[in-house]
Chain A
Amino acid sequence: MPELVVLHPGWQSTIQDTGRSGYFRQGLSEGGALDEHAFRWANKLLDNEPNAACIEILLGKFEAEFTANAMIAVTGADITVTMNGQVLSHWSSHCVQRGDVIRFGQARSGLRTYLGIAGGWQTPRQFGSRTVVMRENLGGLDGGPLKQGDRLAFKAGESPARRAVPEALRPEYQTPLTVKVMPGYQYEHFGVIARRTFETAEYIVSNDINRMGYKLNGPAVAADARKLASEGIAYGAIQIPPDGQPIVLLKDRQTIGGYPKIGCVASLDCARLSQRSPGSPIRFEFTDVDQIQAERRLFDRFFNHSQWVDDERQIVWP
């Protein structure tokens, strides 16, 4: 079977697909690619199924060698990527030959780069997904990030045409980000001043960020002091712990928790947030759920139904 041999795993490189679905009741995290936008593009460039597994590379410094010809795609955080020393264009698919060595530099903008391959990386599925959730020791080759010497299988086969994401659709990860929030959970138990602070202040991404959540620093949101029984946590839920500093809970979050929550960040904004590095400014803006659902449905329709046309560098959407 054709393989990718990991020469250098970088800071943290994990196999991710769209995550586990239907196992929350047993206490399993969903996991899955944090930046759904870049992840979906990697698969779109390769005509893969929407949930084919990619490697999520945190901050870069990943190196690997291909044992067979293949078609790959690179999307996400802005990183210099070379193949045998030649720079590869970003947000594009590329042909690789047996023996080629791919090297990722250090991220300049954004945190997470996705390396996709035609057909997806063929690691075993656990609970319906190849996703690695490190805390649970599930997924990937051994439940953890990739290590030197790991061999990732992929399918030999017909390569799709070379493609690139249109310039206008490539995101910028350094612009100030305002995330849309649906009020919910204990929103009504927060005081008027707390809500106002939350919605008007600027918060800064702290150093305390990982696949479970993003802690932000800024003006404290006066917390709801009532004792709360642990409850199910939705993607993007914003916990306000006693110190008043918001924590946005992401893909590897625990399934239940007992801190008060002021609302939930829209899933597509969670993806944008996951590319923001410590020090980035973040603002919150309350929006109703209907608008957020409409935007998310457009996103899903685009990635599930759009098709490449004639010259293979354009994409149309039926």
Chain B
Amino acid sequence: MRVHAVSEQAVQVEFGRDIDEALIPVIARAVEAIRAELGSVIIDLIPSYTTLLCFYDYNQVDSQWMVREITRILSAIDAGGTGSIGGRLVEIPVWYDLSVGYDLDALAQQKSLSITEIIELHSAREYQVFAIGFNPGFGFLGALDERIATPRHSTPRRQVQQGSVGIADAQTAVYPMASPGGWNIIGRTPRVMFDPSGRSGQAALLSVGDRVRFIPISRSEFIEQGGQPDA
């Protein structure tokens, strides 16, 4: 583990070099402990695959103090054992269909699988939220069954619709809002992944450390739950 200053506003903790599901609960515990002990100087925390970036108020404390305190807090957690933080389980209904899953057919052919098999493989697992980013509320979920893992398109689509469910390498994600994107799209969810009204502090459905399960639904269920098929 390495703790170092990256800017006048932030200190970074590196927990490892390689993406590893086992790091998620470790980083989640670090987030909790740092918030609990340094809440008055912490401005924000960005947990990601192998790192935690801590933004703090440099008008209250300096960089060396932050590095020292975070190192102290993390060594106390290490000593404290292995209690795991489960995160919430979030269920995301998905209408897997050729009309909204633009790459479903190509993926099936490429992987020599039926569309039903792809749907089964994608919805069979519980995924971990490794990181939030790219767009507000965009959660990077893993790890995918390697039988359906596939690289991004070399040329991104100019527009991917809101709620689109995609695959890139061994990860899967939902596009919370329409945006350009290079992921392989296999379906669409009616669930709101990001609520920009900003009335509640938590606008993103997912947080790092949550677990996600995709539930296949029919076209009529999709429409009933407010989903928007293509015109």
- A interface residues, Cβ below 8 angstroms from B: 21-28, 125-127, 135-138, 182, 184-185, 229-237, 254-257, 261, 263-264, 266-267, 289-290, 292-293, 296-297, 300
A157 to B30, CA, bound (A): 48
A169 to chain B, nearest CB (A): 21
Q: Does B81 contact A (CB under 8 A)?
A: no
Of the residues B6, B47, B58, B204, contact of A184 by C-beta under 8 Å: B6
Q: Are B47 and A25 in contact (CB under 8 A)?
A: yes
Which of A22, A138, A255, A267 has a CB less than 8 Å from the CB of B196?
A138
Q: Which residues of B contact A257 (CB under 8 A)?
A: 133
Contact B177 A234 (CB under 8 A): no
Distance in angstroms between the alpha carbons of A210 and B90 in the assembled complex: 36
A231-B53 in contact (CB<8A): yes
Q: Indicate which residue in B6, B46, B62 contacts A255 across the interface (CB closer than 8 Å).
A: B46
Please tell me if the beta carbons of A27 and B132 are within 8 angstroms of each other in the complex: yes
Which residues does chain A contribute within 8 Å of B43, judged by CB atoms?
21-22
CB distance from B217 to the nearest CB of A (A): 25
Report whether A136 and B47 are in contact in the complex, using a CB–CB cutoff of 8 Å: no
Residue of B nearest to A263 (CB): B6
Q: Determine whether the beta carbon of A25 is less than 8 Å from that of B198.
A: no
- Among candidates A22, A25, A235, A290, residue contacting B64 with C-beta atoms closer than 8 Å: A290
Shortest Cβ gap from B112 to chain A (Å): 28
B87 on interface, CB distance cutoff 8 Å: no
Query: By DSSP majority rule, is chain A's interface helix, strand, loop, or mixed?
Result: mixed
Q: Are A25 and B46 in contact (CB under 8 A)?
A: yes
Q: List the B side residues contacting A182 at CB < 8 Å.
A: 5-8
Contact between chains at B44 and A21 (CB < 8 Å): yes
Interface size on B, residues (CB 8 A): 45
**B residues less than 8 Å from A229 (CB atoms):** 18-19, 48-51
Verify B137–A27 contact, CB threshold 8 A: yes
Are B7 and A289 closer than 8 Å at their CB atoms? yes
Q: Closest 8 CB pairs between A and B?
A: A232-B53, A232-B46, A256-B133, A229-B49, A184-B6, A264-B7, A26-B204, A234-B7
Minimum distance in angstroms from A238 CB to a CB of chain B = 10
The chain B residue sitting closest to A301, CB to CB, is: B59
Q: Which residue of B lies closest to A143 (CB)?
A: B196
Q: List 9 A-B contacts (CB under 8 A).
A: A23-B44, A23-B136, A26-B137, A27-B132, A232-B12, A256-B133, A266-B8, A293-B8, A296-B58
| B84 lies within 8 A of chain A by Cβ | no
Produce 1/0 per residue, B106-150, CB < 8 A to A.
000000000000000000000000011111111010000000000
Cα distance A23–B135 in the bound complex, in angstroms: 12
In the complex the two chains form, is B136's CB within 8 Å of A26's CB?
yes
Report whether A256 and B134 are in contact in the complex, using a CB–CB cutoff of 8 Å. yes
Residues of A within 8 A of B62 (CB): 290, 293
Q: Shortest Cβ distance from B144 into chain A, in angstroms? A: 16
**Set of chain A residues within 8 Å of B50, measured between Cβ atoms:** 229, 231
B213 within 8 Å of A by Cβ?
Answer: no
How far does the Cβ of B110 sit from chain A's closest Cβ, in whole Å? 23
A267 touches B8 (CB 8 A): yes
Inter-chain contact B63/A289, CB cutoff 8 Å: yes
Q: Please give, as numbers and ranges, the residues of chain A lying within 8 Å of B58 by CB-CB distance.
A: 293, 296-297
* B207 located at the interface, meaning its Cβ lies under 8 Å from any Cβ of chain A in the complex: yes
CB distance from B3 to the nearest CB of A (A): 12
Expressed in whole angstroms, the Cα–Cα distance for A267 and B63 within the complex equals 15
Note all chain A residues with C-beta closer than 8 A to B9. 234-235, 267
B44 touches A25 (CB 8 A): yes
Residue B24 interfacial (CB < 8 Å): no
Residue B10 CB within 8 A of the other chain: yes
Contact call B136/A232, Cβ cutoff below 8 A: no
Residues of B within 8 A of A289 (CB): 5, 7-8, 63
A297 to B134, CA, bound (A): 31
* Chain B 1-47 interface residues, beta-carbon cutoff 8 Å to A: 4-10, 12, 18-19, 43-47
CA distance A182 to B7 in the complex (A): 6
Partner of B12, one of A231, A254, A256, A292: A231
Please judge, given known A-B contacts A24-B55, A137-B196, whether A293 and B49 are in contact too, CB under 8 Å: no
B90 to chain A, nearest CB (A): 14
Residues in A whose Cβ lies below 8 Å from that of B185: none
Chain B residues with CB below 8 A from A263, complex form: 6
Per the bound structure, the CA–CA distance linking A142 and B11 in Å amounts to 35
Known: A21-B43, A255-B46. A232 touches B51 (CB 8 A): yes
**CB neighbours of B7 from chain A (8 A):** 182, 184, 234-237, 264, 266-267, 289
Does B48 contact A256, Cβ atoms closer than 8 Å? yes
CB distance from A24 to the nearest CB of B (A): 5
Residues of B with C-beta under 8 A to A255? 46, 132-133
**Contact call A264/B136, Cβ cutoff below 8 A:** no
Contact present for B12 and A184 (CB under 8 Å): yes
